Every structure is written in C-alpha cells, then in structure tokens.
Amino acid sequence: MKRLASYSFVLVSLLIGISILSTVTLGQSDWRQIPIRPLRAFQPKQPKRIQLPNGMVIFLQEDRELPLIDGTARVRGGSREEPATKVGLINIYGEVWRTGGTKAQTGDQLDDFLEIRAAKVETGGGVDSTTIGWSCLKDDFDDVFKIVADLLHEPEFREDKIEIAKQGEYDNISRRNDEIGGIAAREAVKLAYGPQNSYARVPEYATVAAVTRQDLIDWHHAHVHPNNIILGITGDFDSSAMEAKLRQAFTGWPKGPAVKKNEIQFQPAKPGYYVIPKEDVNQSAIRMVDLGTTRDNPDYYAIEVFNEAFGGGFSSRLFRDLRTVKGLAYSVSGGIGTAFDHPGIVRLSMGTKSQTTIEAIQGLYEEIDNLNKQPISDDEIKRAKDSILNSFVFNFDSPEKVLRERMAYEFYGYPADFLEKYRVGIEKVQTADVTRAGGKYLHKEKLAVLVVGNTSEFDKPLSSLGPVTTVDITIPPPPGEKPGEAK
C-alpha cells in the first residue's frame, strides 16, 4: 500500500491534479460525475543548503508551526564497511555512541538531563551511515545542541554500556529464528545478494563478542569528520541566526580523511527451491528473489510503473488475483526493487496456509507468465501512473519530508531536483517501456524461491517443483559453547 515514501521534493508548483474524469470510459455512475478542480498551487519550502569550508553540508528548514527544533546528522560509513569478523560493530557503536556518554558526562547523566526537558538525543547505526539526531522544545535548543556537539567531538564509549549493547545483540541473535516472517526476510536477502554480502550478513555471537571499545573509538575517529557529515535541522528557528550558531560551532573543526568505500560483491543464489522447515506454524512464508537495480538506471521510471501495476496496492495484479479472487493470502506483494547506490532486490512475497504452499508458488509463477500472455494493458498503466502522479504531493506535504529527501539526494550524489525528474520520468513512461522493464528484470527461471514453513503439511512436496536445498539456519553457538547447548 505504500509507494515511494522516498521521493519528496520538487520545485514546481503543483498543477498535477490529473482528473480521472477525462479518461474513464466505463458506464456512468455517480462518482465519475463529481467534479475535480486543479489542485491548489503549492510551492513546497526548500531548505537552505550551506557548505562549510571544512566540507560539512548543512540544510536548514524553517517550520514555525510548533515550538520544536529537530535535527539529524548523517555520517558516511556503516555496517557494510565493518569487518566480517566483527559484524554487529555498527549496531553496538550506534547505541553506545549515545549511551556511553561524553568525556564530561556519563550516558545516564545525559538521560537525566534530557528527559526532564522531554528532549531526546539519539544515535544509530545503519548499513551505509550512522546518525546522531535530536528533538527538543525550542527553548532547550542550546542545551541540547551542546550535548550533540560533545557527542560528535568527545564520545566516551564507556565499557558498562558496551556490555549492555552486546547483551542486546545476543538477545536479538537468540530470538532471530522465532518467527517465520523474520526468518524469511533475512534469508531472502542472503539468497538475493549472497550469504557473505555485506548487506545480507548478520551478527553472530562470535562477531559481537569480538567487538572492543577500541574498535568503537577507532570507528569514530575514522569517520566522524565534518567532510563526511550532512546535517539537517527543521523547526521553529530563524535560519540566519541558526546558520551563525552552526558556523561558530563547526567552522574550526578540521577536515579528516574521506570514507573509503569497499567493493561489494553481489552473488545471487542459484535459481531453484530453498526450504527452511518450521514445525510450529500453519502458514508458509514464501519469497522469490533475484538481483534488482539502482535508481539512476534509465529504466527506473518504467520499473516504478510496472511495480505499481503488478504488485503495489489494492488494484495491482498480485493483490487482485492471489488475495481477492483466490483468497490465498492476507499478505502478498512484489516488484523489482531499486536502491540509490546498489542493486535492490526483485522480490515476490506471500504468506499462505501450509496446505496451499505449492498452489501459491504456482499462482505467483502464473502471474509472471501472464505478463507475456496478457501484457500489462494501457488501462493498467494509466491507472498506475494516475496513482503515482495524483499522490505525488504526499512526497513533500511537510517541510520535514522535503528536508529528509534533500539530505538523501545529497548523501547518494543524486541531483537536488531528482523528485521533479521523477515526476517527468513517470509521465513519459509508455506501455512498451513497462513491458520491456518487466521482461528485463523479472524472470521466473532466475528466481530463488524460499519457503519457510511446516513442510509436513504442504499440499505437495516442494520437491515436486524441482530440486530443493534445505537452508540450515542453526545459530552458531557462542565461542566456547557446544552446539545445541542452551545459552
């Protein structure tokens, strides 16, 4: 049901009220006669971009509706860059950067100071970046910002908080095979990218145990430099006063080395069937995956329209055929995945009762076959484009969304007017483009098909479809413990 949460920013005033009135040719009934005038002209406010001499990029987005000031600094470098022997490092760093406190104050002291002001300062670790963000009432900004600056410059990574973070990681590891949804999500990425791929791998007891305080300190010193940071602030402030404050705080901060990018290998699994047996369920989680593409691919716009028509939302083919008409699933979706700077994942997902597992897989196959037999029609394409374009305004209906998107384009090196390009790109998509995109990226015979479920209750053995590989998801025990020993 969601689309494009991502693209939000545009320079044009919006007269994109594409009325369905002009296009509908079916018989008349009430709703088609309701007039739809053009959308009110709207100029979304653009953030002010500032680049300091030391390379730090700052976006300031005033929003005076409420007396709040919120901000996020995104720092280049994330878990895809952590060493394979220390997977989990970035998760721990992302927590302890904040909980470990600063040279002057412990994390607990920061907690007390902030909570009594109903303010938050939080840090986090992601796949390609780490973040430090805050939210506060505007009168508390100076106090809260001082803490943010201290954490940027002098984090302490105290050992007691590292231990708590590690225990949290161990807990996650121990629970990761409890639910089929989680298992399917994790293992599908491994199939699409390869088990050792740095977007797919997950922390283990041993790799978490290997992380030391020195690793966190080293990571911080290697990455947290102004030239690796994009800072965005939104809320109730005056931009020029804020700019002066930030220049004063950050101009003296010297440049550091740029973040090195690792070469990442993508090695999709061999096409075929993969099974993970789980006895305590009555529903199977099915995932079909292959490597997708990036958003700077010229096919991107056709892919977006294809996804909308094929697997996104109430009116898509997958929802209609497998959920509404056949009643085989509550949850079914699919499409050609894209990402900013690495290939996304082609992924079809479905949950169905154990007894219709094979039927559901065949149903998904049929949908792919049908793309040839009954190519996506002009009407389906019109509908998909209407849906994307008429909801386009929701990409920038708040100053905070506009800011977030601008920061993403800056981070990934996309043009500042990418969202406007997106709108134009979608408008230009023709039926033939969509057919071509579907044919180019979605191939039945290239898919790795994963089923997590109660194999003894399947309608037919999975092997009736082809050779099956059983995926072992046994959690490697902590160092020094024997397999099977309860942790």
Partner 1 sequence: MKYRALRILIIFSVLISLAGAQDLASFEKRTTVKKLANGLTVLICERPEAPVFSFFTHVDAGSVQDPMGETGLAHMFEHMAFKGTDKIGTKNYAAEKVALEKVEKAYAAYRYERDKRVGRDNAKVKQLEKAWQDAVQEANQYVVPNEFGEIVERNGGEGLNAFTDDDETGYHYSFPENRLELWAYLESERFIHPVMREFYKERNVVIEERRMRTDSRPIGRLLEQFISAAFQAHPYHRPTIGWLADLNYFSATDAQHFFNDYYVPSNMVVAVVGDVKASEAMPVVEKYFARIPSHAQPDEVSTSEPPQNSERRVILREASQPVYLEGYHRPDYLDKDDAVYDAIADLMSEGRTSRLYRALVRDKKIASVSAGFTGFPGNKYPHLFAFFAFPLPGHTPHEIEDAIHAEIERLKKEDITDDELKMIKTRAKANLVRGLAENEGLAFQLGQAQARYGDWRESFRQVDRIDKVSKADIRRVANQIFVPTNRTVGIIENIPAASTNKGGQQ
- Judged by CB under 8 A, the residue of 54, 105, 149, 179 near partner 1 is 179
Sheet holding 120-125, edge to edge: 48-51, 57-62, 229-235, 68-76, 129-137, 120-125
The span from the CA of 461 to the CA of 457, in Å, is 9
Query: Rounded to the nearest whole angstrom, what is the least distance from the CB of residue 302 to partner 1 in the complex?
Result: 19
Q: Which stretch binds partner 1 (CB under 8 A): 148-156, 279-287, 291-299, 423-431?
A: 279-287
Q: Which of 46, 106, 172, 362 binds partner 1 (CB under 8 A)?
A: 172
Using CB under 8 A as the binding criterion, the count of chain residues that bind partner 1 stands at 94
Strand ranges (E), 198-344: 229-235, 272-277, 283-291, 293-294, 332-336, 338-339
Contact between residue 164 and residue 171 where contact means Cβ atoms under 8 Å apart: no
By beta-carbon proximity to partner 1, the closer residue of 239 and 398 is 398
Give ∠ CA 400-404-406 in degrees, rounded to 5: 115
Is 474 a binding residue for partner 1 by CB under 8 A? The answer is: yes
Interacting stretch for partner 1, rule CB under 8 A, among 27-35, 143-151, 191-199, 297-305? 27-35
Is 164 a binding residue for partner 1 by CB under 8 A? The answer is yes
Measured from the CB atom, the residue of 225 and 406 that comes closer to partner 1 is 406
For partner 1, which is the closer residue by CB, 65 or 445? 65
Rounded to whole angstroms, the Cα distance separating 338 from 344 reads: 4
Can residue 7 be called a binding residue for partner 1 (CB under 8 A)? no
| Residues 365-394 close enough to bind partner 1 by CB under 8 A | 383, 386-387, 389-394
Question: Where does this chain touch partner 1 (CB under 8 A) — which range of 14-22, 54-62, 253-261, 411-419?
Answer: 14-22
In the region spanning residues 199 to 238, those forming contacts with partner 1, defined by CB under 8 A, are none
Select the residue interacting with partner 1 from 142, 218, 397, 427 (CB under 8 A).
Answer: 397
Residues 6+ apart with CB under 8 A from 448: 191, 192, 268, 269, 270, 271, 272, 274, 288, 289, 290
Q: Is 22 in the site for partner 1 (CB under 8 A)?
A: no
CB atoms within 10 A of CB 229: 23
Minimum Å gap between C-beta 17 and partner 1 is 5
**Does 241 interact with partner 1 (rule: CB under 8 A)?**
no
Span 296-335, contacts to partner 1 by CB under 8 A: 313-315, 319-320, 323-331
Reported as type and span, the H/E element at residue 49 is strand 48-51
Q: Facing residues of 464 across strands?
A: none
273 touching partner 1, by CB under 8 A: no
Least distance from partner 1 to the Cβ atom of residue 304, Å: 14
Choice between 213 and 320, CB closer to partner 1:
320
Q: How far is the CB of 221 from partner 1 (least distance, A)?
A: 26
| Cβ distance to partner 1 smaller for residue 281 or 468 | 281
- Residues of span 80-139 touching partner 1 by CB under 8 A: 99, 107-108, 111-112, 115-120, 135, 137
Three-state DSSP at 147 gives helix
CB of 455 to partner 1, least distance (A): 8
Report residue 315: phi and psi, to 5°: -100, 10
Q: Can you say how many angstroms the Cα of residue 45 is from the centroid of all Cα atoms in its chain? A: 25
Q: Which of residues 405-444 bind partner 1 (CB under 8 A)?
A: none
Q: Are 421 and 415 in contact (CB under 8 A)?
A: yes
Among residues 66, 244, 258, 432, the one that binds partner 1 under rule CB under 8 A: 66
Q: Is 263 helix (H, G, I), strand (E, B) or coil?
A: coil
Whole-number Cα distances in Å, 183 to 91, 169, 375, 436: 19, 16, 34, 33
Q: How far is the CB of 259 from partner 1 (least distance, A)?
A: 29
Q: How far apart are CA 144 and CA 124, in angstroms?
A: 17
What is the 3-state composition of the chain as percent helix, strand, coil, each rounded to the nearest 5? 45, 15, 40
339 to 358: interface string for partner 1, x by CB under 8 A: ------------xxx-----
Query: What are the backbone angles phi and psi of residue 23, rounded to the nearest 5°?
Result: -110, -20
Pick from 146, 270, 443, 487 the residue near partner 1 by CB under 8 A: 487
Q: Does 12 bind partner 1 (CB under 8 A)?
A: no
158: left (phi over 0), alpha (psi -120 to 50) or beta: beta
Under rule CB under 8 A, residue 484 binds partner 1: yes
Asked if 281 is part of the footprint of partner 1 (rule: CB under 8 A), the reply reads yes
139, 171, 218, 238: residue in contact with partner 1 (rule CB under 8 A)? 171
Closest separation in Å from C-beta 92 to partner 1: 14
Q: What are the structure tokens assigned to 105, written together?
A: 């104050």
Q: Is 60 exposed, middle or buried (0-12, 13-18, 19+ CB in 10 A)?
A: buried
Question: If binding is defined by CB under 8 A, does position 37 make contact with partner 1?
Answer: yes
Is-contact 148 247, C-beta < 8 A?
A: no
Complex with partner 1: residue 283 or 333, whichever CB lies closer:
283
